[in-house]
A = this chain, B = another copy of it.
Amino acid sequence: MTQATLNSTRTTAAKGLACKECGAEYELKATHICELCFGPLEVQYDYDYLRTKVTRESIKAGPHSIWRYKDLLPVPDEHIVDVGTGMTPLLKANRLARRLGLKNLYIKNDAVNMPTLSFKDRVVSVALSKAKEFGFSTISCASTGNLANSTAAIAAHAGLDCCVFIPADLEAGKVLGTVIYGPTVMAVQGNYDQVNRLCCEVANTYGWGFVNINLRPYYSEGSKTLGYEVAEQLGWQLPDHIVAPLASGSLFTKIHKGFQEFVKVGLVEDKPVRFSGAQAEGCSPIAQAYAEGRDFVTPVKPNTIAKSIAIGNPADGIYALELARKTNGNIESVTDEEIIEGMKLLAETEGIFTETAGGTTIAVLKKLVEAGKINPDETTVVYITGNGLKTQESVQGYVGEPFTIEAKLDSFERALERSQTLDRLDWQQVLV
């Protein structure tokens, strides 16, 4: 497990890192916090150069993955790890729209992202590409589950050693969906925030590439592709309103950065886009700050079934808060019961089985529509970020059961009669 030895070789439009708070500049290396003010670092690009280089045609000629946007990502060509991540469907959700009373609703469906069925495959693809460039041989992360799945899978494909850290109480599907790839897995007795603190200590001691610590500035750039893809899939235009889940707040702000970069580079026309964020009531530090009009986020101790977004001390919380306010969006939270109803609603209307985080986002969408906070005519894009097969425990017992029958026609017919007297089919008729 050797330490990283190389710095980036400036063969991309990425020109350096800069502190989001004080603006101090750094070269492209494996670091994430400003030495002067402890603010987070972000990758800076040469947009004048990009304007001459990137066109709609050059993008369309690229691969059907996030790497079609490689000029806007901080990785030189020779280090790209492309496992088909990205370019997930943007589905016109007509049946869900009708149920909610909307007219132009789209689902960006990262529940079927490759290879591990969550948006984390985007950020990990960028982080591990950068890790290869930097020369890291061991990769690590602090994860609520999806990130561990993605890091372990892509590290296996890339032939990198891998050690991941998760909270010990994670869903079975997320644990198995990590260990199957053969990494070392540390199940930490504590919540994500405690896992994260431990990882910061480990990162200071071991020469490992932590995708969401010392590689975080590169890692988080991967989320911009959720902005790029939506703009491209809408026919090179921005939506009116987006609704996305809030965990650390990074995804939310990077979708915005993606839209803004497309404007800067001349790929789409500028227009106002409203940003609305979704949290689970059991872990809603950003929603609480929003509701109380605060410009700071008070950490909370998470207690919700939406474990993948249960970050009590969100690193980019204040930036998410600021973004929702300045774009005339909203931040809202929902109960665990509403989250399960959201999962069922999306499955029954659109045939998409999402995890608890996706149920949170759908439930918040519904709540915002009912409160008159989404205009029925707005082109609204809802981001679904993970797959329901990973959080099966959360809905077991809350969805229908099969009718157990004998392999005989009369046994079937008796069950069919029973089923027709139950909610199920009536409910379906309501749906149609």
Inside 8 A of A91's CB, which chain B residues have their CB?
83-84
* Closest B residue, CB atoms, query A64: B64
Number of copies: 2
A100-113 contact mask (Cβ, 8 Å, vs B): 1 or 0: 00000000010010
User: Which of A6-14, A31-39, A182-190, A218-226 lies at the interface?
Assistant: A182-190
Measured CB to CB, the closest approach of chain B to A82, in angstroms, equals 9
The 9 closest A-B pairs by CB, nearest first: A157-B351, A153-B351, A84-B89, A187-B402, A185-B402, A389-B389, A156-B351, A190-B407, A182-B348
Chosen A-B contacts, 15 in total, with CB atoms closer than 8 Å, are A83-B91, A95-B157, A95-B159, A115-B351, A117-B389, A152-B351, A173-B173, A180-B347, A180-B353, A180-B399, A182-B347, A182-B431, A185-B402, A185-B403, A190-B407
Q: Which chain B positions have C-beta within 8 A of A195?
A: 407
Give chain B residues whose Cβ lies under 8 Å from the Cβ of A201. 409
A180 to B346 Cα, complex, angstroms: 9
Any B CB within 8 A of the CB of A372:
no
A416 to B89, CA, bound (A): 40
A155 touches B409 (CB 8 A): no
Contact of A161 among B95, B182, B202, B425 (CB under 8 A): B425
Say yes or no for A401: interface residue by CB 8 A criterion: yes
Q: Is A22 an interface residue (CB 8 A)?
A: no
- The smallest C-beta distance from A97 to any residue of chain B, in angstroms, reads 13
From A277-285, A312-320, A323-331, A390-398, the one touching the partner chain is A390-398
A182 contacts which of B159, B400, B408 (Cβ < 8 Å)?
Answer: B400
- Our pick among B163, B387, B407, B424 for the contact of A189 (Cβ within 8 Å) is B407
Instruction: Tell me how far the C-beta of A126 lies from the nearest C-beta in chain B, rounded to whole angstroms.
Output: 16
Q: With an 8 A cutoff between CB atoms, is A47 at the interface?
A: no
Least distance between A360 CB and chain B CB atoms (Å):
16
Answer whether residue A197 sits at the interface, using C-beta atoms and an 8 A cutoff. Answer: yes
Whole-angstrom CA separation of A205 from B347 in the bound complex = 30
Partner of A177, one of B194, B197, B389: B389
Q: Interface range on chain A: under 10, 10 to 19, 20 to 34, or 35 or more?
A: 35 or more
| Smallest Cβ-Cβ distance to A159: which chain B residue | B432
Closest to A425 in B: B184
Contacts of A184 in B (CB 8 A): 403, 416, 419, 424-425
Contact of A187 with B427 at beta-carbon distance under 8 Å, contacts A112-B117, A400-B179 already known: no
Report B-chain residues with C-beta under 8 Å of the C-beta of A404: 168, 187, 189
Whether A186 pairs with B402 at a CB distance below 8 angstroms is: yes
Residue A415 CB within 8 A of the other chain: yes
Docked Cα-Cα span, A412 to B188, in Å, equals 9
A291 within 8 A of B: no
**Cα separation A202 to B189 with both chains bound (whole Å):** 53
Question: Which residue from B180, B387, B390 sits with its C-beta under 8 Å from A395?
Answer: B180
B156 touching A403, Cβ below 8 Å: no
Query: What residues of chain B lie closer than 8 Å to A87, measured between beta carbons?
Result: 64
Cβ A409 vs Cβ B186 within 8 A: no
Contact with A198, one of B205, B387, B409 (Cβ below 8 angstroms): B409
Within 8 A of B (CB), among A317-356: 343-344, 347-353
A416 to B348, Cβ gap below 8 A? Answer: no
Other-chain residue from B175, B180, B202, B415 in contact with A186 (beta carbon distance below 8 A): B415
Nearest neighbor of A353 in chain B, beta-carbon distance: B180
A188 x B407 contact (CB < 8 A): yes
> Do B182 and A424 touch across chains, with their CB atoms under 8 A apart?
yes
How far in angstroms is the closest Cβ of chain B from A275?
Answer: 25
Q: Is A2's beta carbon under 8 Å from chain B?
A: no
Distance of A324 Cα from B184 Cα, bound (Å): 41
With contacts A161-B428, A353-B180 taken as known, whether A400 is within 8 angstroms of B198 at the C-beta atoms is no
- Cβ-based interface call for A172 (8 A): yes
Q: Which of A115, A351, A427 has the most CB of B within 10 A?
A: A351
Is there contact, CB below 8 Å, between B412 and A352?
A: no
Q: CA of A392 to CA of B176 in the docked complex: distance in angstroms? A: 7
Give chain B residues whose Cβ lies under 8 Å from the Cβ of A157. Answer: 95, 349-352
Looking across the interface, which residue of chain B has its beta carbon closest to that of A172?
Answer: B392
